[in-house]
């Protein structure tokens, strides 16, 4: 099953003016493909992810699945930057929420929930509450909650950007290992080029105002080998190439933020 984003544009009405956040986006995510979207702040990354999740509707164009099994709506698992965990629910109860929302009685699925708790490395923390966890652990709960519904596509919007650098590196490595187990078609939004190059099969660069696909770069190093010393040079080369493509836009974004105070 392939996810297709075809000719998608999205405009917002802001103070009586029309703001085109995304223009004519064409992109596909194949089965078992990990696609990263990279671009400077405000280029429309989150908008694209929310459109894909069906949380927003496009102003024009369409997003659909090719070769989906008939009679079944494909499901999305979503992980946001802030996990949005319920503070009054335990780790177990937070993960169970994904199933409750999907209408499954959670008691029937204890094994399933425990499986995902183990998969994200939270065994022993089932009864802990979010405030008792580190940022990295909270994000693991967010990932388990997205996976427990057995989604067809995983959508992640800067899931590690609020974490400190070391935790972030650990979480990236864990995500690679986890992804190799699930091999879910994934759309991963980040402004961090290094992260995109470590994780993705293809990196899609978005330009800004309006957000357009300016380039798509295939990362041709096997994912599980990207941390190896022998690939450091090639990884750096990808990062440098991507930065060359987007640095002008990133500088413009920075100035704009400063002007807006």
In the complex, which residues of this chain contact ligand ADP (CB under 6 A)? 12, 14, 19, 21, 39, 41-47
**SS3 (DSSP) at 185:** strand
- Residue 161 or 241 with smaller CB distance to Mg ion: 161
> Where do we find the tokens 């102003």?
59
Minimum CB separation from Mg ion for residue 101, in Å? 23
Neighbours of 152 (CB within 10 A): 19
Minimum CB separation from ligand ADP for residue 134, in Å? 25
Residue 90 in contact with Mg ion, rule: CB under 5 A = no
Which partner in Mg ion, ligand ADP, none is near 232 (CB below 5 to 8 A by kind)?
none
Q: Which residues are CB-neighbours of 123 under 8 A, at least 6 positions away?
A: 117
- Residue 12 or 86 with smaller CB distance to ligand ADP: 12
- Residue 50 or 94 with smaller CB distance to ligand ADP: 50
Give phi and psi for 39, each to the nearest 5.
180, 160
Which partner in Mg ion, ligand ADP, none is near 243 (CB below 5 to 8 A by kind)?
none
Minimum CB separation from Mg ion for residue 40, in Å? 10
**SS3 (DSSP) at 63:** strand
Which partner in Mg ion, ligand ADP, none is near 210 (CB below 5 to 8 A by kind)?
none
Cα dist from 107 to 47, 119, 150, whole Å: 35, 19, 17
Residue 8: in which H helix or E strand, if any? strand 2-14
Minimum CB separation from ligand ADP for residue 217, in Å? 18
Chain residues 17-46 in contact with Mg ion, contact rule CB under 5 A: 45-46
- Residue 53 or 221 with smaller CB distance to Mg ion: 53
- Residue 21 or 178 with smaller CB distance to ligand ADP: 21
- Residue 81 or 90 with smaller CB distance to Mg ion: 81
Minimum CB separation from ligand ADP for residue 10, in Å? 8
Distance CA 175, CA 154 (A): 12
Cα angle value 184/146/196 (rounded, 5°): 55
Which partner in Mg ion, ligand ADP, none is near 86 (CB below 5 to 8 A by kind)?
none
Q: Which residues are CB-neighbours of 22 under 8 A, at least 6 positions away?
A: 8, 9, 10, 44, 47, 48, 51, 210, 211, 212
# chain residues binding Mg ion, by CB under 5 A: 2
Residues 249 and 43 sit within 8 Å (Cβ to Cβ):
yes
- Residues contributing to the site for Mg ion (CB under 5 A): 45-46
């Amino acid at each position: 099953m392939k996810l297709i984003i075809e000719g998608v544009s999205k405009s917002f009405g802001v103070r009586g003016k029309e703001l085109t956040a995304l223009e004519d986006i064409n992109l596909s995510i194949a089965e078992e493909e990990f696609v990263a979207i990279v671009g400077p702040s405000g280029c429309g990354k989150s908008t694209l992810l929310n459109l894909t999740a069906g949380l927003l509707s496009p102003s024009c164009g369409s997003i659909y699945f090719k070769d989906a099994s008939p009679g079944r709506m494909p499901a999305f698992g979503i992980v946001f930057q802030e996990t949005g965990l319920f503070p009054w629910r335990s780790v177990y109860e937070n993960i169970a929420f994904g199933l409750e929302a999907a209408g499954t009685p959670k008691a029937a699925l204890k094994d399933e929930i425990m499986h995902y708790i183990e998969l994200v490395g939270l065994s022993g923390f089932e009864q802990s509450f979010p405030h008792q966890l580190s940022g990295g652990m909270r994000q693991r709960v967010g990932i388990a909650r997205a996976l427990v519904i057995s989604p067809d596509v995983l959508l992640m919007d800067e899931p590690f950007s609020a974490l400190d650098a070391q935790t972030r590196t650990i979480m990236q490595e864990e995500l690679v290992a986890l992804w190799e187990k699930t091999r879910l078609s994934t759309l991963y939004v980040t402004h961090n080029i290094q992260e995109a190059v470590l994780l993705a099969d293809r990196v899609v660069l978005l330009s800004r105002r309006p957000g357009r696909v300016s380039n798509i770069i295939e990362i041709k190093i096997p994912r599980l080998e990207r941390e190896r010393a022998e690939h450091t040079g090639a990884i750096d080369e990808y990062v440098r190439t991507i930065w060359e493509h987007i640095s002008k836009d990133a500088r413009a974004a920075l100035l704009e933020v400063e002007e807006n105070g």
